[in-house]
Amino acid sequence: ATRAAMAGEAAAAVAIAAAAASAGGDSQEECDPACSFTRLIPQLVPWFQWPELRRVSLTRKSSSCEVVHTVHRRYLTDGSSGIRGRLERLGRRLNGAQAAQARGSPEALAVVQGDLLVLKQSAFILAQNCENYADLFEHVGFTIGDDLDQVATAVLDAIERVQSFQDAVNRLLEAAKA
């Protein structure tokens, strides 16, 4: 199945969860692993766009709690899909661009320009994602109680790392223009 079809299926799951939440209410006020939809959230989070993720987090307190924990585990801790893992891969690409720029050949400089464009766009997307994580945590982070400090610290650390990476890309762009 295509990503668009899966996203459509995820949007349908959001609609069903919203209808179920409005019909049945939320009997459990804590993270409720017994809730069938709540148990699906870790598998659905990667397929949701930000509006759907926000809607899911607003359907039930247990959903909010699971969304916050899932985003933290998936994107803000060490792992290949997390911010840190993506920055490591982008950092290797940045190092390659620096080496190619140091060679100075016309072919190498052309490759550097393309790589820098991709790196700049990738850093922008990671920064936007961090802003979205922070916004999500600001609105529904209270649902995780005392764990909020750890989650907030992780998103601030990710924002700092992305900003440092953006600065490195911008320095290389300036060097390429000179």
- Token duo for residue 176: 């390429």
Residue type, 131: E
pLDDT in tens, 30-75: 455 546 788 888 999 989 998 999 999 988 888 999 999 999 999 9
121: pLDDT confidence band, cut at 50, 70 and 90?
Answer: very high
Q: How many CA atoms within 13 Å lie on the side-chain side of 149?
A: 1
- Is the pLDDT at 140 greater than 50, yes or no? yes
- Is the pLDDT at 116 greater than 70, yes or no? yes
Distances from the Cα of 153 to the Cαs of 107, 123, 140, 157, in angstroms? Answer: 43, 20, 16, 6
pLDDT for position 13: 53
Average pLDDT, the chain: 84
